[in-house]
Amino acid sequence: MTVRSEKNSLTKSLGVALLSGTLSLTAGSVLAQEKMPPEQSMSSLEYELIGRDDLWTYKALPEYHEAPYLADMVAEGKLPPVAERLPSEPLVMLTGAMVDGIGEYGGVFRHVIGGRPEGWNHLAGQHQGWGGINMAMQECLVRTGPLWQVKAEDQSGPLPNLAKSWEWNEDNTQLTMHLVDAKWSDGDPFDSEDVRFWWEDNVQDPNVASWMPPEGMGEGTTMDVIDAYTIRFNFTEPQGPGRVNSLTYDTGCPGPSHILMQYHPKYNPDATYESYRTALPADELPPVILGAWVPVVHRPDEIVIMRRNPYYWKVDENGNQLPYLNEMHFKLTTWSDRTTQAVAGTGDFSNMENPGNYVEALRQSQSPDSPTKAEFGPRVLSWELQLNLSETLGVEDEVDAELRTFFRNKDFRIALSHALDRDAIGQSVARGPFTYPHPGGFSVGSPFYDYDSTVYYGFDQEKANTMLDALGLTDTDGNGIRNMPGTGADMEIDLTYDNGEATDKKQVDAVVQMLGEVGISILPRPVDDPGPLADAGNFNMMEGRNHWVIPTYGTCDHIPVSATCPNWHLTDEAGNRNLFDWEQEMVDAFNLMQQTWDPVEAANAAKTIQKNWTENVYTVGLVQAPAALLINKRIKNAHPGTPVFMFNWAEDNIVRERLWTASEDQIDELLPGTIPEY
Ligand code: GLA
């Protein structure tokens, strides 16, 4: 899908292959005249990188402490002592990686989101709420978000999380992982059985739309339970450290087998796959999770309130059980309101990602008494037009069918690219220096973006017209619109986009005008949620945000690594899909990244993808923009270098379990003294 690249990645991503920092090799040359203009980064992020082992470790500490109200509950016999609730060796967040150090307990963190919880059964593909609810609830075998803080030479795969360590056999065909002996939020032990249930009865069950597709750990991969806290993946071919990244959010996150098994058709003859998917509705609380805060109140379109998980399995170096913050709010409004409220100080956090707001938000956040500060990162957000390359899916008549033959024609796609004045599109989105043309492929702020591998078909209306003429597209009936040679129909293309996003609307308006000028009529089709149309491949042209930054995060949003993706080139019901050779080359390059132990080889594979994508105009890029993170100044340990999006979104990058607020700055809790009750 297009609207939120993440959403699709979540549906289908194959995970992330993190590579070493040696990413600036020169790649094969491309036509000298088809190059991108120079880019002026707006990033003001400055920070020192640390070693991967400086972030956290696992060890038993001599004593443990907890939020005072939990200690009271222990004294009243309502909870077991903290040492019994924690693992034998908890995950210990190291003080050296915290800008403000060890925290104080208490207080509230206020999110504002445009997302809504769909339901709590994420194992069956539901989302619990974009904008930070998902990430607060799910814990995954490994973690990648905080890798932005790690030195290039230490970027050899993900960070440990539920899997505290792992090792490979000699020929790299077996990966053995050791699990932390954490507890679920209801006190039930987390163990290999939960991982087995996730893998066997969800990922590998073709009837369950798991976030990880069945081939997400490689074709033919199996998993064995070795003992209660050890699992092993067996691969059909040798793999590299990149493969482990598939086990990060949100593809590698187990759910509570002790709750879910009773609803799964394999264990319950009365259940169906649909009843399983919806077994944990968003109005039944609290769900059982491994995350730091548990939803306890959900008032639809109003608020989700989350309270600390008394069984959370992470501590600081003084043995204080995390998180520090007692309560989290998610006000359920709009994405744009998230920025407005962060700037006004009624929200604590925003990924500022709507360039139309930037000038005003920057102006307000620069005053010394502003509650927040805007810090721009590199340009990682990009928008594009996707042309449906399927010959059959969503094709309703012979006109659609003929349109698709043009979409599949490289010269047609190049002509569209030449018809677009991306500087003007950018200025219509936000006046000023914010946007930069997007040629497709990796965003310019990605560590994997390579200038020399990027082909750019910039604005040249005359060239666009010449190319369209040469394709036999001429205006035979004099109405200003080119006619297609086969059906004789006007070249009229429906363009689906999200009507809730001003950034998209402005780009669509510009595209309508610019393509109109070369005789192509665009019929805008605004919809509330393009997701279902996108996922079904039921569109001709789609506009939306779909940025690619780390090659293996959200892979399925971008290249055909599975039959179920990307949305603009899906396999049809009969199993047909006619991939181009250069699409297959991108998939092969990605597979190499998952298998190699040589970072130079992996970096070169990313260049192969970039070159194939941009030379062939796989999608017609529009513009790319930086994002800025807004965090209320009262929040401590919010590292100033945190990117809005890199290995993951800022909600993960900022490591919320170690955020805190000085007691004098703490906001009153709505549900003081409470824990989730089961
Ligand atoms: C949505 C938002 C992003 C981010 C993610 C996190 O996609 O647009 O800024 O908050 O949710 O899930």
Structure tokens at 602: 């992996």
**Pairing mode, if any, of strands 521-527 and 492-498?**
parallel
335 within domain boundaries: no
* Pairing verdict, β 108-113 and 327-332: parallel
Q: Is 651 in the pocket of ligand 1 (CB under 6 A)?
A: yes
> What's the rounded mean pLDDT across residues 146-162?
91
Which pair of structure tokens corresponds to residue 584? 């297959």
Determine the pLDDT at residue 213.
86
The closest-lying atom of ligand 1 relative to the alpha carbon of residue 351 is 9
- Asked whether residue 390 is assigned to any structural domain, the reply reads yes
Over residues 547-573, the mean pLDDT reads 92
* Closest residue by CA, ligand 1 atom 4: 131
Cα 628 to ligand 1 centroid, rounded to whole Å: 13
- The best mutation among 3, 5, 6, 8 to test binding of ligand 1, ranked by most ligand atoms within 8 Å of the C-beta, falls on 6
In 334-434, the DSSP E strands lie at: 349-352, 372-387
Q: Is residue 143 part of a domain?
A: no
Ligand 1 centre distance from Cα of residue 210 (Å)? 20
Of 17-26, 417-426, 497-506, which has the strongest mean pLDDT?
A: 417-426
Q: In the predicted model, what is the mean pLDDT of residues 331-342?
A: 94
- 528: CA distance to ligand 1 center in Å? 17
| pLDDT at residue 153 greater than cutoff 90 | no
DSSP string, 165-223: EEEE-TTS-EEEEEE---B-TTSPBP-HHHHHHHIIIIIS-TTS--SS-TTTT-TT-EE
Q: Is residue 33 pLDDT above 70, yes or no?
A: no
Place 499 in a pLDDT band, splitting at 50, 70 and 90.
Answer: very high
Which of 4, 332, 339, 644 is the best mutation target for the ligand 1 pocket, counting ligand atoms within 8 Å of the beta carbon and taking the most? 4
Atom number of ligand 1 nearest to Cα 135: 12
**Whole-number mean pLDDT of the chain?**
92
- Which of 130, 348, 553 most suits a substitution to test ligand 1, by most atoms within 8 Å of the C-beta? 130
Measured CA to CA, the distance from residue 409 to residue 184 in angstroms comes to 53
pLDDT band at 406 (very low <50, low <70, confident <90, very high): very high
Using the mean position of ligand 1's atoms as its centre, give its distance from the Cα of residue 214 in Å: 25
Half-sphere exposure of residue 294, counting CA atoms within 13 Å on the CB side?
A: 21
| Three-state DSSP class for residue 232 | strand
> Residue 629 belongs to what H/E stretch?
strand 620-632
Cα–Cα distance measured from residue 420 to residue 439, given in angstroms and rounded to the nearest whole number = 11
Nearest residue (CA) to ligand 1, atom 3: 131
Q: Rounded CA gap, 382 and 625, in Å?
A: 6
The confidence score (pLDDT) of residue 20 equals 31
How many Cβ atoms from other residues are within 10 Å of residue 93's Cβ?
A: 22
Band the pLDDT of 10: cuts 50, 70, 90: very low
CA 525 to centroid of ligand 1, rounded, Å:
24
482 residue type, one letter:
R
As a whole number, mean pLDDT of residues 441-446 equals 94
pLDDT in tens, 449-464: 999 999 999 999 999 9
- Structural domain harbouring 519: 9-30+379-625
Cα first-last separation, the chain = 37
Decide if pLDDT at 3 tops 80: no
> 192 CA to middle of ligand 1, Å?
31
Q: Residue 668: is its pLDDT beyond 80?
A: yes
Query: How much distance in Å is there from the Cα of 112 to the middle of ligand 1?
Result: 11
Whether the CB of 335 sits within 6 Å of ligand 1: yes
Alpha carbon distances (Å) from 594 to 125, 240, 606: 24, 6, 11
Query: Does the Cβ of 131 fall within 6 Å of ligand 1?
Result: yes
pLDDT of residue 48: 83
Cβ atoms of 488 and 458 within 8 Å: the answer is no
For residue 177, pLDDT over 60 is answered with yes
Going from the Cα of 464 to the center of ligand 1, the distance in angstroms, rounded, reads 36
| Residue 563 contacts residue 405 (beta carbons within 8 Å) | no
CA Rg, the chain, in Å? 25
Position 26 pLDDT exceeds 70:
no
How much is the average pLDDT of 363-370? 88
Amino acid at 218: G
Specify the pLDDT at position 553: 86
Question: What's the predicted TM-score (pTM) here?
Answer: 0.88
**CA–CA gap between residue 567 and residue 279 (Å, rounded):** 28
List 142's β-bridge partners, or say none.
160
**What is residue 300's three-state secondary structure?**
coil
Structural domain includes residue 386: yes
Specify the residue with its C-alpha closest to ligand 1, atom 11: 131
Rounded to whole angstroms, the Cα distance separating 435 from 439 reads 13
- Is residue 282 assigned to a domain? no
The residue whose CA is least distant from atom 9 of ligand 1 is 351
Q: How confident is the model at residue 43 (pLDDT cuts 50, 70, 90)?
A: confident
Tell whether ligand 1 has an atom less than 6 A from the beta carbon of residue 330: no
Q: Is the separation of the CB atoms in 321 and 614 below 8 Å?
A: no
| Residue nearest ligand 1's atom 7 by CA | 4
Neighbour count for residue 358 (Cβ, 10 Å): 25
Q: What would the mean pLDDT of 291-316 be, rounded to a whole number?
A: 98
Amino acid at 633: K
Considering the domain boundaries, does residue 137 fall inside one? no
On the question of pLDDT at 375 being above 90, the answer is no
CA–centroid distance, residue 249 to ligand 1 (Å):
13
What is the mean pLDDT of the segment spanning 41-66? Answer: 92
- How far apart are the CA of 651 and the centre of ligand 1, in A? 8
**How many residues belong to the chain?**
678
User: What is the C-alpha to C-alpha distance for residues 481 and 138, in angstroms, rounded to an integer?
Assistant: 51
Q: Hey, what are 398's tokens?
A: 């012979």
Q: Is the pLDDT of residue 611 over 90?
A: yes
Atom 2 (ligand 1) nearest CA: 131
Please check the confidence at residue 285 and state whether its pLDDT lies above 90.
yes
Kindly give the number of the ligand 1 atom that is closest to the alpha carbon of 627.
9
Answer yes or no: are the C-beta atoms of 453 and 27 closer than 8 Å: yes
How large is the average pLDDT for residues 573-591? Answer: 96
Ligand 1 pocket check for 645: Cβ under 6 Å: no
Calculate the CA 287 to chain-centre distance.
23
The type of residue at 234 is N
Domain count, the chain: 1
Give me ligand 1 centre to Cα 649, in Å.
7
User: Which mutation among 248, 335, 351, 529 tests ligand 1's pocket best, with the greatest number of atoms within 8 A of CB?
Assistant: 351
Q: Does 310 reside within a domain?
A: no
Residue 70 forms part of a structural domain: no
C-alpha atoms less than 13 angstroms from C-alpha of 142 in its C-beta half-sphere: 24
130 Cβ closer than 6 Å to some ligand 1 atom: yes
Cβ-count burial of 129 within 10 angstroms (0-12 exposed, 13-18 middle, 19+ buried)? Answer: buried
CATH number at 499 reads 3.10.105.10
Of the pLDDT bands very low, low, confident and very high (cuts 50, 70, 90), residue 5 is very low
Instruction: For residue 356, name the pLDDT band (cuts at 50, 70, 90).
Output: confident
Assess whether the C-beta atom of 456 lies below 6 angstroms from ligand 1: no
Q: Among 603, 304, 576, which Cα is nearest to 446's?
A: 603
The per-residue pLDDT for range 82-130, each reduced to its tens digit, is 999 999 999 999 999 999 999 999 999 999 999 999 999 999 999 999 9
Q: What pLDDT is recorded for position 300?
A: 97
* 410, amino acid identity: K
Question: 363 CA distance to ligand 1 centroid (A)?
Answer: 24
pLDDT reading at 242 higher than 70: yes
Query: For the chain, what is the total number of helices (H) and then of strands (E)?
Result: 18, 20
* Ligand 1 centroid from CA 353, angstroms: 9
The CA 334 to ligand 1 mean position distance, Å, reads 11
